[in-house]
Chain A
Amino acid sequence: MKYRRIKTLTKKQNRGLVKIEFNWDGEPPMPGQFFMLTLERLDIFLPRPFSVFDFQNGVLSFLIKPIGRFTNILMNTDTFNIMGPLGNPAPLFKSGIFIGGGIGVAPLHYHAKQTENFVFIAGSLTDDLRFFISDLEKRGRVIYTTEDGSYGVKGVVTEPLEEILKEEKNIPVFACGPVPMLKKVKEITGGRNTYLYMEQVMGCGTGGCKGCAIKTKDGYKMVCSDGPVFNAMEVLFE
C-alpha cells in the first residue's frame, strides 16, 4: 500500500458540498472502505480519511463537506496523494435501510448502490444532499428530510426510520452521521441488525499507530483496522 500522486479529474461544488473525482486503476474499493488523502505541503501534516462515495468505470469519487483546514482548500487544489482502499468492507446484504445524517450519506451512497432493495433516508439541515445522491432514486426508495423544511419531510432523519421499521422488520440498518444521530439510531433499533459507520481522527490509516480508537464493549478498537463499520451492539457511546 502506497500513496499515489494523482490529479483530480473533476471537482464540483454545490450548496457547500464538494465532489471530487479521480481516475483510479488501483485495487477496486468495496462499500465501507475509505482512502487517505494528503497534500505535498507539510503544514497540513496528517492525511485525512474519506469514504468512497462512488466508484464506477475506473472513476473514484468522494463527497466532502468543508469543515477545516484540509477540506476548505479542496477547490483550489488539483493534485492529491491518495492511498487506499483501506479498512474493512461493510457486510453486504440483499436489502438494507440506509440512514445518513448530512455528509454521512457519502459512504452509504456507494453501499446502497450495491444493495438490491433499499430505503435510503438522507437527512440534512437544508436542501443540499439531493444534488449528489438523486441517482439512487431510480434504484430504490429515497426519503429526504430537512430541518428547515426546504425539501422533503421537515424534521430530523431518525423520524422516518421509526415509521419504516414498523413495516420493514429484520432488514439490516446502516447508519452514518454525527454521534447523537448514531446514538438515536441504536436506541430506535435496540442495536439489533444495526451497523454504524464510525469516525475518528486518524494518523496512519493502516492499523499502525493505534490513534483512531473508539470505545467498544471489548475495549478500544481501531476505526481504520477493525472498522470503519461496527455492529451497533459493540459500540459504546459516552
Chain B
Amino acid sequence: MNKLNVNIGGLELKNPLLLASGVWDTDSSVEIEVYGAVILKGVNLNGRKGNPPPRIYDIQCGVINSIGLENGGVDELNRKIEKIKGRTKLIANIFGSTVEEYKDVAERLKGIDGIEINVSCPNVKDSGIAFGRSPEYVEKIAALVKKVSNVPVFVKLTPDTDRLEDIALAAEKAGADAVVCANTYTGIVIDINTGKPILGGITGGVSGPCIKPLTVYRVWKLRRVLKIPIIASGGIASWQDVIEYIMAGADAVEIGSIIFRNLDAGTEIISGLNKYLEEKNIHHILDIRGGVHDG
C-alpha cells in the first residue's frame, strides 16, 4: 500500500515531495515523474527580463540568488506546459505588480493542476514581497485568484516578516487551500576587495541547508494557528530533513537548491522515506505529522 500519498487542499499527490519553483526548467534534464508535483518557474502576464549578473553565489551550505523572476510571460509558459503535461502534477507559480495582474495570470493559465501564489520573491522591487508582508493584500490576492481558478490555490509566504501568522491566517480566510512556508530570506554578499555588493541585483534570496532551522521554526509556529495544510520549503537536502519538517507540522515539502548539486535528490529522498516508514512500522507518512507541537 502507498504510505506516501497525500491530499493537499484537494490536490491528490502520489507523494508529498514537490520540486520548488525556479531551480529547474521544463527543458532541463530533471526527472519530474519522481515528484508528487512540480512547481513551474515564477510567471507574470508579459514576462520579465531578470536582474543583471552575477545572479547566483555560493554562501557555504547554501546559495544566494537574485535571478529577478526572469520569465517569458504566461503565454510562453502555457506552451511549455503543453510539452510536459501528463508526466506529473503541474503547479504554476504566479506573481504580478498589481492585484489584478495575479488574477489575469491565473485566468490565462492552461493545463495546470494547482496555483502557487508568489507574494514572497525578494528579488523584484515592484511586486512580490511588498504584497507578501501585508495581510490585507495577501487576503485580497488570494481571494481573487481563488475566485477565478478551478484548481487548488496555495499562497507562498515570505519568511521575512514578524506578522507571519497574521499573513498566513489572511490566506486561510481568503480560501487558500494551503500555504507554502516559505520563500528565501533576504541577504547580501559583499566583495571584500571593492566593498561593493557581489550580486548584480544588490540583495538576494538565501536558500539551501543553512536556512533549514529558520524555516522549520516557522512551519512549527504556523501549525499551531492554521487549519489548512502547510507545504514546507527551505533547505531540504535529505529524507531526514523531510521527516523533521513533517514532525514540525508540514503536510508536504518542496526541494529546491539541493538539485543544483544532486539531480537525483528526489529519488533518493523518496526511497529514504519509504525505508524509514517500513523500518519504523509506520502506516502512513502523515501519521508522524506534528508530533512535536508542544515538545
Contact = CB atoms under 8 A, between A and B. Distances in A.
Contacts of A83: 263
A203 B56 contact: yes
Contacts, number: 107
Mostly, the B contact residues are: loop
Interface string B54-68: 111111111101010
A43 B28 CA distance: 25
B280 interface: no
Contacts of B55: 201, 210-213
Nearest to A209: B23
A46 B64 CA distance: 10
Interface in B14-65: 22-25, 27-30, 41, 49-50, 52-63, 65
A209 B260 contact: yes
A145 B41 CA distance: 46
Interface stretch (A91-99, A168-176, A214-222): A214-222
Nearest to B264: A2
B261 A1 contact: no
Nearest to B23: A209
Contact of A203 (B59, B60, B65): B65
Given A2-B264, A3-B261, A204-B28, A209 B61 contact: no
Given A2-B264, A3-B263, A201-B54, A46 B63 contact: yes
Mostly, the A contact residues are: loop
Nearest to B70: A210
Contact of A210 (B50, B58, B263): B50
Nearest to A38: B261
Contacts of B70: 210, 213, 220
A197 B67 CA distance: 22
Given A43-B60, A45-B58, A210 B67 contact: yes
Q: Chain A, interface size: which category?
A: 20 to 34
Given A201-B57, A203-B63, A208-B24, A42 B237 contact: yes
Contacts of B56: 46, 201-203, 209, 211-212
A3 B262 contact: yes
Contacts of B58: 44-46, 69, 201
A45 B208 contact: yes
Shortest 4 CB-CB distances between A and B: which pairs? A211-B56, A208-B28, A208-B24, A1-B29
Interface of B: 22-25, 27-30, 41, 49-50, 52-63, 65, 67, 70, 208-209, 237, 257, 259-264
5 contacts: A38-B261, A206-B263, A209-B65, A219-B49, A220-B70
Given A44-B60, A46-B56, A206-B263, 10 more contacts: A43-B61, A45-B61, A46-B260, A46-B261, A81-B261, A200-B53, A209-B22, A209-B25, A212-B55, A212-B56
